[in-house]
Amino acid sequence: MERTIIDILGWAGTILYLIAYGLISAKKVEGDSWWYQGLNIVAGTFLIINTFYLRAYPSAGLNIAWVGIAFLTLGRKVWKK
């Protein structure tokens, strides 16, 4: 059961990353938008959980960086206001 939940999180994260990439590629959202960065944060968090569980530490590191960049981007956006 635990493994199934971890797999679902991994697939959900992957799908969310693809949705975010599709939206940015189709120019439906801006790169610093709350939608795009929010999708990246949720997707990355799901994949961090998945990759740590699977002990895929290089992938976990990449996703930690991806989530960090998203938070920095949103933080910068808030700071400018």
State yes or no: pLDDT of 51 exceeds 90: yes
The CA distance from 42 to 33, in Å, is: 14
Q: Assign 81 a pLDDT band (cuts: 50, 70, 90).
A: confident
Q: Percent of the chain beyond pLDDT 70?
A: 100
For residue 21, the Cα-to-chain-centroid distance in whole angstroms is 11
Q: Which residues contact 55 (CB under 8 A, 6 or more apart)?
A: none
pTM of the model: 0.90
Q: Assign 80 a pLDDT band (cuts: 50, 70, 90).
A: confident
Query: What is the structure's pLDDT at 69?
Result: 97
Query: What is the structure's pLDDT at 60?
Result: 97
